[in-house]
Amino acid sequence: MAHARIEIERVKDDTFRVTITEGASHTAHTVTVDAADYQKLTGGTVTKEELVRRSFEFLLERESKESILSSFSLAVISRYFPEYGREISRRMRGD
């Protein structure tokens, strides 16, 4: 798999447009970050953009960019990958 470039653009305070590029192909995703989820996952120690970036890195370790939903709330990731909350919190702490 080619190295993916993840670009994040804030659309609104809690909504982000994420573009993933691998070689000549790309996908676009719209992601919302609920304030309560943001606090629970990060403790407010990083930006929402960083949380989104790390979340997409997590997803790309498990599935292709084409398999990632085109629009979703970050909280949905735990439905597909139950380890998400624990793993992202660990990554945010730098463990």
From residue 95, alpha-carbon distances to 28, 45, 50, 87, 90 in Å are: 30, 14, 16, 10, 5
What is the per-residue pLDDT for 50? 95
4 or 31: which carries more pLDDT confidence?
A: 31
Question: SS3 for 67?
Answer: helix
* Maximal CA-CA distance, the chain: 37
Categorize the per-residue pLDDT at 1 as very low, low, confident or very high, splitting at 50, 70 and 90: very low
Residue 84's H or E segment, with its range, is: helix 84-93
- Residue 37 domain boundaries: 5-93
Q: How many domains does the chain have?
A: 1
Find the angle CA(83)-CA(86)-CA(87) to the nearest 5 degrees: 75
Q: What is the pLDDT of residues 60-93, one digit of tens each?
A: 999 999 999 999 999 999 999 999 999 999 988 7
What is the per-residue pLDDT for 93? 78
